[in-house]
Amino acid sequence: SQQGEEDPQALSIQEGENATMNCSYKTSINNLQWYRQNSGRGLVHLILIRSNEREKHSGRLRVTLDTSKKSSSLLITASRAADTASYFCATSSGAGSYQLTFGKGTKLSVIP
Amino acid sequence: IAGITQAPTSQILAAGRRMTLRCTQDMRHNAMYWYRQDLGLGLRLIHYSNTAGTTGKGEVPDGYSVSRANTDDFPLTLASAVPSQTSVYFCASSDSSRGEQFFGPGTRLTVL
């Protein structure tokens, strides 16, 4: 069963605007990761946030984690047409477990 | 070039036939994974291997088998393909000390 659920399922914005995607999960986690998938391609890792972290930045990406609400958000600032892709959150649970459970993804369209 | 390769890129297969999807990584990662991606369902874990010589079942293992004879290779076998196994299959690997997974380009499999 899916651990993470992304919201919204689809998002369409103008170039230059910020895009925010949310992820909710059900059980306790070790870390939460965000991945990007361009159409027809494999997933690419974007950022990992550990359960004891609340916020992390990487370039134009900002991820927050609220373990009390079992939720995370991914913010892409100053979006570009090249950011058009599907974005997935994935959670890692259990000590010693390397497995990830993925959500169904948010499809982001950035209009030039 | 470091990374993960998958073969074939795509395949059309008659129901009942046996098929092996190949996956090779050259990053010396200890853990490897097979996922299937279906429209609207995100990625679901089929089988995984935490280290050479060991394998485990994921969320949707039925109808699939894997082996991990060495660090680099992790083939996925469909013993007798059925139409419900039509999907895009992704192989991934990770260094367990880091957490993030690296994905191959995928194999698009159609079972008729």
For range A90-105, the mean pLDDT: 80
Q: Beginning with the edge strand found earlier in the chain, give each strand of the sheet holding B4-7 in spatial order.
A: B4-7, B19-25, B76-78, B64-66
Kindly state the tokens that stand for A18: 């910020």
- pLDDT at site B72: 97
Digit-coded pLDDT (tens) for B23-47:
999 999 999 999 999 987 789 999 9
- pLDDT at site A99: 83
- pLDDT at site A97: 58
CATH number for the domain spanning A24: value is 2.60.40.10
Binary contact (B48, A99; C-beta < 8 A): yes
* Structural domain boundaries, residue A18: 5-111
A-B contacts at Cβ under 8 angstroms: 54
Give how far Cα B84 sits from Cα of A1, B87, B94, B109, Å: 18, 8, 28, 11
- pLDDT-above-90 percentage for chain A: 79
Q: Which residues of A touch B4 (CB under 8 A)?
A: 42
CATH number for the domain spanning B50: value is 2.60.40.10
Q: Which of A33, A98, A100, A101 is the best substitution to test chain B (most B C-beta atoms within 10 A)?
A: A98
Q: Of B50, B99, B103, which has the smallest distance from its Cβ to A43's Cβ? A: B103
In this predicted model, which residue has the larger pLDDT, A85 or B96? A85
| Cα–Cα distance for residue pair B93/B28, rounded to 1 Å | 9
Q: Is the Cβ of A45 closer than 8 Å to some Cβ of chain B?
A: yes
Q: Which residues of A touch B99 (CB under 8 A)?
A: 31, 33, 48, 92, 98
Count up the domains in chain B and report the number: 1
For range A29-41, the mean pLDDT: 92
Whether residue B88 contacts residue B8, with contact meaning beta carbons closer than 8 Å, is answered with no
- pLDDT at site A6: 84
Please determine, for residue B2, whether its predicted confidence score (pLDDT) is greater than 80. Answer: no
